[in-house]
Chain A
């Protein structure tokens, strides 16, 4: 995924009706790009057949 610009992040926040200051947008952009970058290695994992369920610990839930 491409790195997001502050303008794009501001537009995304506006689309969600989230009020953000210019200072917020700058830092949120760093945070969001860092998270996307940190998760990039997941693209190399065999995830296609893995169901995205949390996995419950309880062997007999009822």
Chain B
């Protein structure tokens, strides 16, 4: 291998695939590097629920043989990746992070897994998550996932392991699922790129559901270019998900070039300058906007009055859907849920229909407000989260008042749920660090099916910074 073994884990998808293609690196050797790192580091980080060393090495060996035979290679050929344990994998247990499914072994792969494997990816294993992709898990059944930038801090969720594994070099890229921020939040807290595609752009088939109208698989990667590469592999119509879109899939990697000159970017006032937004977050995001201006974008502040309500609207709707999914188990296996999950689902089961209906109407209004913003703007910009990753202990313990609920659940969700409620694509991109060394993240939101512009702007910004080159202390 031409690259140093220690660096291989941080090269990312495109560069690893190029090394394999040019026969400068062996897929088997690359896979061994990641497996050794998982063995050495994951007892502390708990990114993985299931590691697949034998299957990964066998897949890597097949990839190597194909290279040597001069066969046509996919864009991920020989590149080790991992997936949130919410996606079905044929013959490999898929727990959704719950004891209820600890022995569940699907018969077939989720469509996204089939497509990543068809692109040449080497599946390393299944990644930890908050139980059933809901937030607020108190006791993780398969170990407490920890932030590689500071083990006492939250790695974000629900795709917790997907963020940790990419940040700590325990896979080259990962797949998560974003219902209301579950890709972007761990990307933000762990300092990596997280892409939520347009709802319906990627098939949901074989992914354990939470909310049918918001569930969206999406990649977590070290760079925007890698996110484009993974999206290319998984996007497109799937007959097994009748709601998946037939809109043609463009060449996302080619779309990265071109910069941001002339792009009109609206900075969402309520989320960027609101009282809930931490000062260090605001400073970093404003600086990122300034960088985009220097690159030729035109920015202006805009007001979206309904976005501060998005967190509560989301919970009234997505949690109600989740309560429907879980009703049977809530009646028969309530004690097998984590306490936090059970209480969240019980709450959602009891939301009055009049309230739920009002939230559904407000969602339509919020969506209209956001689409209206795209009449005059190509992209919207705001922080991905109102603060850097908080201590794990901050979200622990019994809730003793309704005021505590708002602080723990609604505020932070208002930053990531507007795009989810409107079905819009959004990306989280590292944009700095706090003085205590925790990652900060910029969020860009685009029109429906305009991932190309989203990726182009994020890539242009990323090229001006070196945030993505930094490695967390728990990754060495």
Q: Which residues of A contact B (CB under 8 A)?
A: 1, 9, 12-13, 16-20, 23-24, 27-28, 30-39, 41-43, 45-47, 50-62
Partner-contacting stretch, out of B63-71, B95-103, B276-284, B344-352? B344-352
From the candidates B213, B362, B409, name the one contacting A47 in the complex (CB within 8 A). B362
Contact check, B423 vs A45: say whether CB atoms are below 8 A apart: no
Query: For the complex, is B359 an interface residue (Cβ under 8 Å from A)?
Result: yes
Is A50 in contact with B364, judged by CB distance below 8 angstroms?
yes
Contact of B198 among A18, A19, A23, A57 (CB under 8 A): A57
* Interface hit among B42-50, B221-229, B400-408, B462-470: B400-408
Known contacts A31-B343, A50-B364; A12 and B350 CB within 8 A of each other:
yes
Instruction: Collect the chain A residues with CB atoms within 8 Å of residue B364's CB.
Output: 50-55
B381 contacts the other chain (Cβ, under 8 Å)? no
Inter-chain contact B199/A50, CB cutoff 8 Å? no
List of B residues within 8 angstroms of A17 by Cβ: 331
Q: Are B316 and A31 in contact (CB under 8 A)?
A: no
Whether B399 contacts A30 by the Cβ 8 Å rule is yes
Determine whether the beta carbon of A51 is less than 8 Å from that of B361.
yes
Q: Which residues of A contact B358 (CB under 8 A)?
A: 39, 42-43, 47
Closest chain B residue to A8, Cβ basis: B350
Which B residues are in CB contact (< 8 Å) with A57? 198-201, 245, 423-424, 448-449
* Across-interface contacts of A18 in B (CB, < 8 A): 330-331, 334, 346, 349
Contact A58 B347 (CB under 8 A): no
Q: What are the residues of chain B within 8 A of A53 when measuring CB–CB?
A: 360, 364
Q: How far is the CB of A33 from chain B (nearest CB, A)?
A: 5
Indicate if B431 sits at the interface (CB-CB under 8 A): no
Considering only residues 231-270 of chain B, those with a C-beta below 8 Å from chain A are 243, 245-247
- Could you say which of B214, B316, B360, B401 contacts A35, with CB atoms under 8 Å apart? B316
Q: Does B313 contact A (CB under 8 A)?
A: yes
A55–B344 alpha-carbon span in the complex (Å):
26
Given contacts A50-B361, A61-B245, contact A31 B200 (CB under 8 A): no
B286 interface hit (Cβ, 8 Å): no
Q: From the candidates B213, B350, B351, B365, name the one contacting A13 in the complex (CB within 8 A).
A: B350
In the bound complex, residues from chain A placing their C-beta under 8 Å from that of B298 are none
Quote the shortest CB–CB distance from B360 to chain A (angstroms): 3
* 4 extra A-B contacts, CB within 8 A, seeds A45-B361, A59-B448: A31-B405, A34-B406, A35-B347, A58-B245
